[in-house]
Amino acid sequence: MNAVGVLTPEQLRSWRDEGKPFALLDVRTPAECEIAALLPAIQIPMNEIPSRLDEIPTADPVVVMCHYGERSAHVAAFLAASNVSHVYNLEGGIDAYAGRIDPSIRRY
């Protein structure tokens, strides 16, 4: 099983600023994604991940995100157990990213 890394909002901002290749996987519900979004992201609700694994690009690191980081931690562990290498959980989720990096993202 692969290990899951933790990525802080600050590290994610650096990755984005540097143009580092990675896939951002948002596992919140469609309703949550309508309220606030960090784009570009692949939006697959947590409960659909097992049946939609083939939609997740794995050539580059995968950063999993939810509202506060709890659901994404479970999905990241599932992906690592499914032999996806280089999986990271976004610490604090989109709420932390909005609060610490991008205040234009609506908090809920």
Q: Annotated catalytic sites, by residue? A: 66
Q: In whole angstroms, what is the distance from residue 21 CA to residue 9 CA?
A: 16
Q: How far apart are the first and last CA of the chain?
A: 34
**Do residues 42 and 54 touch, judged by C-beta distance below 8 A?**
no
Residue 34 CB neighbours (<10 A): 10
